[in-house]
């Protein structure tokens, strides 16, 4: 019996997603990723993917998953949670493959034998957002740490995800670099929710928050929050695809996980990632990185 987990498998397709999907489908007509014939459909077609709310909220999955499913015959069931929760699901053998952005935790995951493969897929950056009034005066700060210091000194409202996600882990790391523990302060609030929901809370309460650039761009139209600090190497946001070690459970779909990982780093997919967001926002929401040296990112 397949694992019983909470699955968010509904797809909301934006006009951007439909347009890019149509372009990509046409471009791939002569691609090695040909549609699976009835005779080549996998015997175990369900692939459980644990990924981040940041990717889900950006709309990227709405473009990628239908293409993968059409090309391979697999059906992906995405579970959108924080990276920390996604890694826990992998450790328990409750999913087949991960698409996450918490590098330190990912390295530990592999070292502990929970994953058998970790490949660089793409990156964007985190941005520090705040209300137009900027009560802490952080706009133009030289670094995210300097901005955090000004927020703490001003006692300005900061909205944290507080969910163990990659975003939350980086935020806590920045506070640690400052030598400060904000938890428990009246001006520091945790939502315990995903990126999209946290953006909404920060916007409604006119607070500061840390977000990945892709989700911010995708949600920007409905927000008053503005970018206060960016282009700090400490805010680099890197995504990897990781196959869960099939020894964790006989229920793990190792073949499906490999097919998905291969798809994410394939040239056609990387091209689609690089175009995602350009028509609507004038810039891509993610930078494709398959085959690159990770230490060179952001240079």
Dihedral (Cα; 257, 258, 263, 267), 10-degree rounding: 150
Mean pLDDT of 86-109: 96
- Burial profile 13-23: b = 16 or more Cβ within 10 angstroms, e = fewer: eeebbeebbee
What does the H/E/C string look like for 186-248?
A: CCEEECCCCHHHHHHHHHHHCCEEEEEHHHHHHHHHHCCCEEEECCCHHHEEEEEEEEECHHH
Assign 299 a pLDDT band (cuts: 50, 70, 90).
low
Contact 264, 96 (CB under 8 A): no
Q: Which of 179, 180, 181, 218 is nearest to 199 (CA)?
A: 218
Domains and CATH numbers, the chain: 15-124+236-296 (3.40.190.10), 126-234 (3.40.190.10)
- Round to whole Å and give the CA distance between 271 and 273: 5
- Burial profile 269-297: b = 16 or more Cβ within 10 angstroms, e = fewer: bbebbbbbbeebbeebbbbbbbeeeeeeb
Task: Extract long-range pairs of 7-14: CB within 8 Å, 24+ residues apart.
Answer: 7/48, 7/77, 7/78, 7/79, 8/56, 8/78, 8/79, 8/80, 9/76, 9/77, 9/78, 11/61, 11/62, 11/65, 11/66, 12/59, 12/62, 13/62, 14/59, 14/62
- Round to whole Å and give the CA distance between 88 and 94: 9
pLDDT value of residue 231: 87
Q: Collapsing DSSP states into helix, strand and coil, what is residue 287?
A: strand
Give the chain's mean pLDDT: 88
- Round to whole Å and give the CA distance between 103 and 107: 6
- For residue 75, the surrounding DSSP H or E stretch is strand 75-81
Tens digit of pLDDT for each residue in 220-271?
999 999 999 998 989 999 999 999 999 999 999 999 999 999 999 999 999 9
Tens digit of pLDDT for each residue in 149-205?
999 999 999 999 999 999 999 999 999 999 999 999 999 999 999 999 999 999 999
Tens digit of pLDDT for each residue in 6-63?
444 434 445 455 455 444 444 444 444 556 655 578 989 999 999 998 898 889 999 9
């Amino acid at each position: 019996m397949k694992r019983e987990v909470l699955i968010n498998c509904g797809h909301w397709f934006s006009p951007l997603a439909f347009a890019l999907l149509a372009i990509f489908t046409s471009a791939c007509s002569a691609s090695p990723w040909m549609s699976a014939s009835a005779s080549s459909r996998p015997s175990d077609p369900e692939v459980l993917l644990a990924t981040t709310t940041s990717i889900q909220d950006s709309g990227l999955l709405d473009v990628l998953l239908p293409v993968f499913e059409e090309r391979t015959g697999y059906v992906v069931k995405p579970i959108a949670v924080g990276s920390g929760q996604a890694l826990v699901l992998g450790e328990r053998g409750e999913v087949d493959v991960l698409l996450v952005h918490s590098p330190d935790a990912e390295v530990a995951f592999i070292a502990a034998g929970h994953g058998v493969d970790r490949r660089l897929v793409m990156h964007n950056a985190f941005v520090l957002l705040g209300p137009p009034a900027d009560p802490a005066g952080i706009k133009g700060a030289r670094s995210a740490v300097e901005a955090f210091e000004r927020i703490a000194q001003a006692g300005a409202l900061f909205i944290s995800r507080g969910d163990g996600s990659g975003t939350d882990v980086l935020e806590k790391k920045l506070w640690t670099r400052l030598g400060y523990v904000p938890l428990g302060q009246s001006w520091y609030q945790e939502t315990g929710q995903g990126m999209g929901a946290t953006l909404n809370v920060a916007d409604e309460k006119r607070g500061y928050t840390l977000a990945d650039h892709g989700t911010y761009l995708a949600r920007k139209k409905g927000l008053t929050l503005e970018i206060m600090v960016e282009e700090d190497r400490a805010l680099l946001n890197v995504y990897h695809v990781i196959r869960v070690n099939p020894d964790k459970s006989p229920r793990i779909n190792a073949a499906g996980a490999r097919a998905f990982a291969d798809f994410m780093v394939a040239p056609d997919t990387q091209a689609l990632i690089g175009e995602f967001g350009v028509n609507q926002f004038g810039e891509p929401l993610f930078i494709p990185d398959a085959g690159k040296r990770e230490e060179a990112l952001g240079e």
